[in-house]
Amino acid sequence: MPMVTNDELMQKAKDGGYAVGAFNMNNMEIIQGIVSACQEKNSPAIIAVSEGAIKYAGFNFILSLYRTAVDESGLPLALHLDHGKDLEVIKRCIEGGFTSVMIDASQLPFEENVAATREVVELAHPAGISVEGELGRLAGVEDIVDVDEREAILTDPQSAAEFVEATGVDSLAVAIGTSHGAYKFKSDPKLDIKRLKEIVASCNIPIVLHGASGVPDWVLERATKYGAQLKGARGVPNEAIAEAVKNGVCKVNIDTDLRLAMLGAVREVLTETPQQFDPRKYLGPAREAIKRVVTEKIDLLGSAGKA
Ligand code: PGH
Ligand code: CA
Ligand code: ZN
């Protein structure tokens, strides 16, 4: 069954006016939860794997989990390296069975980012692998008070167009006010949608939103009810994600919500039944919680029925 690239999924999403979720995976229960939601919703998905996840689970275990998921589900699923920084890992992914890679050289000055990204594009494209680059640094819009600083951190639409042209990337991750993790905003959540519109207009390739977890109430409440300490945790509201998708974001990255959902489920079981020591009894509910989160994301992004 189809192993697809991000590019195929995202071009389709771009034409259809919806977005595909990229869900981070590092073990069996997580990918099973993701795929089970996608099956019920007949949705495509991007299985995102970080360098840390490869180190944790092992390259071949990751690959086998992905291939099994594709075989079992028959769904269009991409296997994507998330935030690739190490060229050796990136090469291994390109040669070893991933369908897409991200090169994240966004911490470097513009010209160096271009050079590093161009190098990966030249390795990946002959192998039929799509490439995501990143320009800008993730940070909350309202948390950057200084105007010059804001311009330095958030993605500049003109530079984005130059970056796309100079590198040949298939998609671009941009900074419009989101950030990674569970503590995204100190003040009111806000995305720079005007900037997004300008980027979409100037680039003409699929745009990616990182740091897009919402920290849903039910997830946060369950985890904290059973003792998790997550004071001040705050995500991107669903309305803001919907607005971003409406204005051209085609890939939405979710990791934190899966982590928090898993945490709450495991904590609940271990708190309610402290005598329990069968891993299936706490990892099973964790898998169910992942499935619920992914189901909600599919509805939010509009990818149901698009497999
Ligand atoms: C992400 C995930 N992965 O690359 O961008 O972000 O922390 O918001 O889930 P979150
Ligand atoms: Ca980055
Ligand atoms: Zn990210």
For range 212-217, the mean pLDDT: 98
Task: Look up 82 and say whether it is catalytic.
Answer: yes
The token pair at 3 is 């192993």
The token pair at 19 is 């977005």
**Domains in the chain, please, with CATH?**
6-301 (3.20.20.70)
Q: What's the pLDDT at 150?
A: 79
Q: What's the pLDDT at 2?
A: 63
* Ligand 1 site, CB within 6 A: 24, 82-83, 180-181, 210-213, 253-256
End-to-end CA, the chain: 12
d(CA 297, CA 236): 12
Q: Which of 247, 249, 187, 253 is nearest to 214 (CA)?
A: 253
Q: What's the pLDDT at 23?
A: 98
pLDDT in tens, 113-169: 999 999 999 999 999 999 999 999 887 777 777 777 777 799 999 999 999 999 999
Please tell me whether the overall predicted TM-score, pTM, comes out greater than 0.85 for this model.
yes
pLDDT in tens, 18-57: 999 999 999 999 999 999 999 999 999 999 999 999 999 9
Active-site hit among 7, 15, 82, 188: 82
pLDDT in tens, 189-203: 899 999 999 999 999
pLDDT in tens, 82-112: 999 999 999 999 999 999 999 999 999 999 9
The token pair at 135 is 């320009």
Residue 1 clears pLDDT 50, i.e. is over it: no
For range 274-278, the mean pLDDT: 98
Q: What is the DSSP string of 121-160?
A: HHHHGGGT-EEEEEES----TTT---HHHHHHHSPPHHHH
Q: For ligand 1, what atom is nearest to the CA of residue 138? A: 5
- What per-residue string of b and e applies to 210-235 under the rule 16 or more CB within 10 Å gives b? bbbbbbbeebbebbbebebebeebbb
Indicate which ligand has the atom closest to the C-alpha of 241. Answer: 1
